[in-house]
Amino acid sequence: MTVDPHNPFAIETRDPAEYQAALGVRRFEKLKRQIRHVWSNEDYFRPRLIAAGVSSPDDIQTLDDFRRLPAMLDKASHRQSQEESLARYGHPFGLHLTVPLEQAIHLAATSGTTGQPTFYVFSKRDLDLSHATLGRLFAQAGIRPGETTFHAFGLSLWLAGVTYVQALEAYGARPVALGAEAGVPKILRYIEFTRPTTLFATPSMVSQLIERAPGEIGKPVGALGIKRVLCAGEPGAGLPAFRQRVREEFGAEVFDFMGGAWHNAALSCASHDYHGMHYLTDDTCFRYDLVDPVTKAPIELTDGAVGEALHTGLEYEAAPAFRYATGDILKIHVGPCPGCGVFGTRMEVVGRVDDMLAIKGVKVYPVAIQNVVLQFRPRVSGELRIRLDAPPPKVEPPLRLAIEAAADLPADAWPALAHEIEHRIRELLTFRPEVSILPHGALPRSGQKTKLIEIVEKTATASSPH
Name the DSSP letter for residue 103. G
Q: Which is nearer to Zn ion, 331 or 352 (CB)?
A: 331
Task: Please select the residue that binds Zn ion; options are 251, 335, 339, 393, rule is CB under 5 A.
Answer: 339
Binding string, residues 390-419; x marks residues near Zn ion by CB under 5 A: ------------------------------
Under rule CB under 5 A, residue 152 binds Zn ion:
no
Under rule CB under 5 A, residue 162 binds Zn ion:
no
User: CB under 5 A: which stretch of 36-44, 108-116, 174-182, 334-342 binds Zn ion?
Assistant: 334-342
End-to-end CA distance of the chain: 75
Q: Which is nearer to Zn ion, 269 or 353 (CB)?
A: 269
Q: Which is nearer to Zn ion, 337 or 386 (CB)?
A: 337
Indicate the helix (H) or strand (E) that contains 83.
Answer: helix 75-89
Q: Which is nearer to Zn ion, 244 or 448 (CB)?
A: 244
Indicate the helix (H) or strand (E) that contains 286.
Answer: strand 285-291
Task: Please select the residue that binds Zn ion; options are 35, 69, 334, 337, rule is CB under 5 A.
Answer: 337
By C-alpha distance, which of 414, 111, 153, 375 is closest to 258?
A: 153
CB of 256 to Zn ion, least distance (A): 11
In angstroms, how far is CA 266 from the centroid of its own chain? 10
Indicate if the alpha-carbon torsion angle 233, 443, 408, 377 is positive or negative. Answer: positive
Contact 164, 151 (CB under 8 A): yes
Task: Please select the residue that binds Zn ion; options are 269, 349, 367, 384, rule is CB under 5 A.
Answer: 269
Q: Which is nearer to Zn ion, 176 or 337 (CB)?
A: 337
CB of 211 to Zn ion, least distance (A): 29
CB of 275 to Zn ion, least distance (A): 5
Q: Which is nearer to Zn ion, 122 or 255 (CB)?
A: 255
Q: Which is nearer to Zn ion, 251 or 339 (CB)?
A: 339
Under rule CB under 5 A, residue 340 binds Zn ion:
yes
Q: Pseudo-torsion of CA 152, 156, 161, 166, nearest 10°?
A: 120
User: CB under 5 A: which stretch of 56-64, 169-177, 268-276, 410-418 binds Zn ion?
Assistant: 268-276
Q: Tell me which residues in 195-224 interact with Zn ion (CB under 5 A).
A: none
User: CB under 5 A: which stretch of 9-17, 179-187, 331-339, 419-427 binds Zn ion?
Assistant: 331-339
CB of 374 to Zn ion, least distance (A): 21
User: CB under 5 A: which stretch of 79-87, 232-240, 340-348, 391-399 binds Zn ion?
Assistant: 340-348
Other CB atoms within 10 A of residue 458 CB: 12
Q: Which is nearer to Zn ion, 251 or 336 (CB)?
A: 336
Binding string, residues 36-65; x marks residues near Zn ion by CB under 5 A: ------------------------------
Contact 51, 72 (CB under 8 A): no
By C-alpha distance, which of 168, 179, 178 is closest to 131?
A: 168
| Per rule CB under 5 A, count of chain residues that contact Zn ion | 4
User: CB under 5 A: which stretch of 126-134, 267-275, 306-314, 374-382 binds Zn ion?
Assistant: 267-275
- The span from the CA of 203 to the CA of 213, in Å, is 15
Q: Which is nearer to Zn ion, 297 or 340 (CB)?
A: 340
Q: Phi/psi of residue 402, each to 5°?
A: -105, 120
Q: Buried b vs exposed e over 212-250: b needs ≥16 C-beta within 10 Å? A: bbeebbeeebeebebbbbbbbbbbbbbbebbbebbeebb
For residue 33, CA distances in Å to 37, 58, 60, 120, 435 come to 6, 11, 11, 21, 53
User: CB under 5 A: which stretch of 4-12, 213-221, 329-337, 380-388 binds Zn ion?
Assistant: 329-337
Beta strands 73-74 and 228-231: pairing type?
Answer: unpaired
CB of 336 to Zn ion, least distance (A): 9
For residue 173, CA distances in Å to 56, 169, 248 come to 45, 6, 25
Other CB atoms within 10 A of residue 462 CB: 9
For residue 28, CA distances in Å to 184, 280, 444 come to 46, 18, 46
By C-alpha distance, which of 387, 395, 353 is closest to 76?
A: 353
Other CB atoms within 10 A of residue 415 CB: 11
CB of 137 to Zn ion, least distance (A): 14
Q: Which is nearer to Zn ion, 258 or 337 (CB)?
A: 337
In single-letter form, the type of residue at position 99 comes to V
User: CB under 5 A: which stretch of 1-9, 175-183, 263-271, 416-424 binds Zn ion?
Assistant: 263-271
CB of 308 to Zn ion, least distance (A): 25
Binding site for Zn ion (CB under 5 A): 269, 337, 339-340
